Amino acid sequence: MSVLATKSSGTLFVISGPAGAGKGTLVGRLVKCLPSVWVSTSATTRAPRGTEQNGVEYFFYTTEQFEDMIAHDQFLEWAHVHNNYYGTPVLPIREHLDSGDDVILEIDVQGALQVRDRFPEAHLIFIAPPDMETLESRLRGRGTDSEDSIQTRLANAVGEMEVSKDYDRIIVNDDLDRATEELVNVVQSFVSSERD
């Protein structure tokens, strides 16, 4: 039985992809094109980076706080990613779907599969790099990751690409404008097919 209302008025989307595939940039562009879309803020136990603020990029929690929320079933999904907890607080998702917003979760592949189990109406979209060489050069180009972290993210990307075949759609981010247009079209067509 779904943990969300069985018949919501908004549509739930999950967007995943390897670090460096450009999913954050694409989601930012999607929101500008489609104002009915609301992006969930995840919770994490990782430390804030740079100018990140609590409640903006993430809700930053201690491990104790996060585990307490798990114990009280307050997450739609949660997972260990790169040695930290990440999770989607369920209450705001329910509220936004009920009020008719289309909701986007930008989460990893483990979380995406949990969402599909618990809420089969969700649409899973995977953002893929054109190839592994491009992914590696994008990760290096960001200049934010150590060599160790780049190697971990590249190794994780191989497993993530494997899981992508279980997604409803794969969008290859070969060109930002083209991929944005495809993402907007995919979201709009899923939304309108549910409202017909």
Smallest distance from ligand 5GP to CB 160, Å: 8
83 vs 189 by CB, closer to ligand 5GP: 83
Residue nearest to ligand 5GP (CB): 111
Smallest distance from ligand 5GP to CB 152, Å: 11
130 vs 159 by CB, closer to ligand 5GP: 159
Smallest distance from ligand 5GP to CB 46, Å: 5
Quote the CA–CA distance of 16 and 125 in Å, as a whole number: 7
Smallest distance from ligand 5GP to CB 121, Å: 19
Smallest distance from ligand 5GP to CB 108, Å: 4
Burial of residue 121 (CB within 10 Å: 0-12, 13-18, 19+) is middle
Burial of residue 83 (CB within 10 Å: 0-12, 13-18, 19+) is exposed
69 vs 187 by CB, closer to ligand 5GP: 69
- Report the interface residues with ligand 5GP, using CB under 6 A: 19, 42, 46, 77, 79, 81-82, 86-88, 106-108, 110-111
Q: How many helices (H) and strands (E) does the chain have?
A: 7, 9
19 vs 124 by CB, closer to ligand 5GP: 19
Smallest distance from ligand 5GP to CB 196, Å: 31
CA angle 139/79/13 to nearest 5° reads 75
Quote the CA–CA distance of 64 and 125 in Å, as a whole number: 32
88 vs 180 by CB, closer to ligand 5GP: 88
Q: Where are the beta strands (DSSP E) in 17-133?
A: 37-39, 43-44, 59-60, 75-81, 84-89, 102-106, 123-128
138 vs 194 by CB, closer to ligand 5GP: 138
- Residue 83 three-state SS: coil
